[in-house]
Amino acid sequence: MADKTDQVMELAKRRGFLWPSFEVYGGAAGFYDYGPLGATMKKRFEDLWRHVFVKTEHTPMAEIFCPRVTPEPVLVASGHVGEFTDLLVTCLACKAPTRADHLVTAAGYKGNAGALKAPDIDAQLAALKPKCPSCAKAAGFTPAVKQNLMNATEIGPGSGRVGYLRPETAQGIFTDFPLLFRHFRERLPFGVVQLGGSNRNEISPRQGMLRLREFSMMEAEVFYDPGKKTHPRFSEVASRTATFVPNADEKDHHLTFGQAVASGMVANEALAYWLARTQEFLLAAGMDPKRLHFRQHLKDEMAHYAADCWDAEFHSDRYGWVECVGIADRGSYDLTQHAKHSGKDGKLNPEFTRVIAATPGIAFTATVPVPAKPFFPTLKQDARAAEAAMWEGSAYAQEAARRGLDTAKWAERNERYLITEKEVRREPATAPLTVQANGKDIIVPASAYEIATLDVTVQGKRILPCVIEPSFGVDRILYALWEHGLETGEKNGEAYTRLKLSPKVAPIQVAILPLTNKDGLPAKAEEIEWTLRAAGFLTDNDDSGSIGRRYARQDEVGTPFCVTVDNDTLKDQAVTVRNRDTGAQDRIAVRGLAEHFRAVFG
């Protein structure tokens, strides 16, 4: 009993969309080749994504391309080196490495050894005293160490510099952030996208296209001022509707994106905007709207740094709801990590903390008590603490705090305003001042301090931008388009398959079919085909078998239009254009054919 997945995979393999990689050598789990039609469709699909997320996006957007081989420190900072791990021990006698959980299980441990932490593994090994599978001696093992599950490699021969194939494309964008910020002329927001391959050495690749060891991603990292997670064009998407599954009740809510923000279901406007754009893209690519929803991560599923996270999920007959896009408000987590790890002496790398323009109109004037000449000799060891207390208790400091300005020059903050303080006046104090410092009241005599009046101007704010990340799994979505597009039924009592691919991603846009192989029709068909190719269309030319058979072939690979060349064509210079979905036929002049299709394909 072939279910939809079987039908899709059978069709994909038979017609050149998708092939198991390296099959003549026995294959390799978790890898697929895109065949001629699949590769073309993938390319069109990615170009459609660029159209939505770069070309027609009002936020300034740019595409970059980074290497897949990534030096270890980058992935230490991102947390991947610490996360993708298994435990490994080494035999003290023969130095052969073994996976610790296997060893423990083989020695009789009941339960899930894979869930044991390193100290538990060590304890089990000490108790069970297993033999080394390599040398058969029970000589003991080294303590368990974490073995990373990323695909490791070397950078340079024998240099010992460790690298990994990246598990996501995002890190290249984050590490380039200082350069990108400059490229965008130091203004937020802006977005950077990357399309490319990533690798995860999955323990157990499963479910066809849904869990691969090498896969393609399309990721956008959109950087925002943390205080301004809005989008100027939100009104254009606010009235569109979608199905939301919030973590509060895990039920379907049919709402507009505007309502989802207003009700607080989606954390902020910018995030909701990217959800809407994601929906727009997926529907344009051909996903079934009834089989698409947005599911909010459960509270324990959400990473601790994520302010909010929604997955776009498509519904598959066999697999149920499948995540294919993750849209996360990642806060400033990634930039913070890279700022910390690439910084010196434990300080944030200033390359990652960015000065942005100030909000106008927050300059003010206020007074602050400042030490006069006798201050230090008078107060002696309490002087430093008293000075700080005077500053903190001043009208100036209180006004600054009220306005959210951080005036503490020594503060290690991710976010602070850059201010200039200009002293406009200084007057002698008229009364003693009492401050609390070092756990006691300290009286500062009037002779020991003066009153300074400061003009304060906010020049800008030093921040770590936060980021909203729409991250697309290419292979999963392509699978969804095949499954959602697949239409099986009967035609004249025979099984009939139609693949209703969106014209925007179909690998063949127009098939040219000479009605017969006589009377110069094939030559005419070829001439017409080349006209269309020259106009930029993806075409196929099929003169084999009956016309019905050829329509069926094209329907099966999702070709939206067939052009039939008949004997009349030679006389009237017109062809029949047949619509895949409706079967409708139009007579179109050859001369205007390219223009006709240009209009149809948009």
Partner RNA sequence: GCGCGGUUAGUCUAGUGGUAGGACUGUACCUUGCCAAGGUACAAGCAUGGGUUCAAAUCCCGUACCGCGCACCA
By the criterion CB under 7 A, which residues form the site for RNA? Answer: 2, 5-6, 10, 13-14, 20, 26-30, 78-80, 83, 102, 105, 112, 114-115, 167-168, 203-208, 303, 309, 318-319, 326, 328, 471, 491-492, 494-497, 515-519, 544-549, 551-553, 555-556, 564-567, 575-576, 578, 583-585
CB-CB contact of 451 with 426 (8 Å): yes
- Nearest distance from residue 498's CB to RNA, in Å? 9
CB atoms within 10 A of CB 433: 18
Q: Which is nearer to RNA, 237 or 525 (CB)?
A: 525
CB-CB contact of 45 with 324 (8 Å): no
372-382 burial by CB neighbour count: b if 16+ within 10 A, else e?
beebbebbeeb
- Nearest distance from residue 144's CB to RNA, in Å? 15
Q: If DSSP codes are grouped into helix, strand and coil, which group holds residue 323? A: strand
Q: Which is nearer to RNA, 83 or 250 (CB)?
A: 83
3-state secondary structure 514-577: ECCCCCCHHHHHHHHHHHHHHCCCCEEECCCCCHHHHHHHHHHCCCCEEEEECHHHHHHCEEEE
DSSP state of 143: P
Q: Which is nearer to RNA, 7 or 342 (CB)?
A: 7
Contacts of 460 by beta carbon, 8 Å cutoff, 6+ apart: 355, 356, 357, 358, 417, 418
CB-CB contact of 325 with 472 (8 Å): yes
- Nearest distance from residue 253's CB to RNA, in Å? 21
- Nearest distance from residue 174's CB to RNA, in Å? 12
Q: Which is nearer to RNA, 105 or 447 (CB)?
A: 105
Phi-psi region of 98 (alpha: psi -120 to 50; beta: other; left: phi over 0): beta
CA distance 357 to 460: 5
CA distance 257 to 246: 13
Task: Tokens 């850059």: give the residue.
Answer: 418
Helix (H) or strand (E) holding 460: strand 449-463
Helix (H) or strand (E) holding 296: strand 292-296
Q: Is the dihedral of CA 373, 378, 380, 384 positive or negative?
A: negative
DSSP state of 350: T
CA distance 146 to 100: 10
- Nearest distance from residue 515's CB to RNA, in Å? 5
Q: Which is nearer to RNA, 106 or 408 (CB)?
A: 106
Q: Are strands 494-499 and 510-514 parallel, antiparallel or unpaired?
A: unpaired
Q: Which is nearer to RNA, 167 or 191 (CB)?
A: 167
- Nearest distance from residue 209's CB to RNA, in Å? 8
Q: Are strands 561-565 and 574-579 parallel, antiparallel or unpaired?
A: antiparallel
CA distance 323 to 241: 20
- Nearest distance from residue 298's CB to RNA, in Å? 12
Q: Which is nearer to RNA, 434 or 516 (CB)?
A: 516
- Nearest distance from residue 112's CB to RNA, in Å? 5
- Nearest distance from residue 31's CB to RNA, in Å? 7
- 333: its two tokens: 């987590």
Q: Which is nearer to RNA, 279 or 569 (CB)?
A: 569
- Nearest distance from residue 395's CB to RNA, in Å? 46
Q: Which is nearer to RNA, 277 or 524 (CB)?
A: 524
Q: Which is nearer to RNA, 300 or 345 (CB)?
A: 300
Q: Which is nearer to RNA, 201 or 378 (CB)?
A: 201
CA distance 346 to 359: 30
- Nearest distance from residue 211's CB to RNA, in Å? 8
Rounded to 5 degrees, φ, ψ at 479 are: -60, -45
What's the one-letter identity of residue 580?
R
CB atoms within 10 A of CB 312: 26
CA distance 140 to 355: 56
CB atoms within 10 A of CB 397: 17
Q: Which is nearer to RNA, 214 or 566 (CB)?
A: 566
Q: Which is nearer to RNA, 159 or 204 (CB)?
A: 204
Q: Are strands 320-331 and 466-473 parallel, antiparallel or unpaired?
A: antiparallel
- Nearest distance from residue 55's CB to RNA, in Å? 26
CB-CB contact of 30 with 205 (8 Å): yes
- Nearest distance from residue 201's CB to RNA, in Å? 11
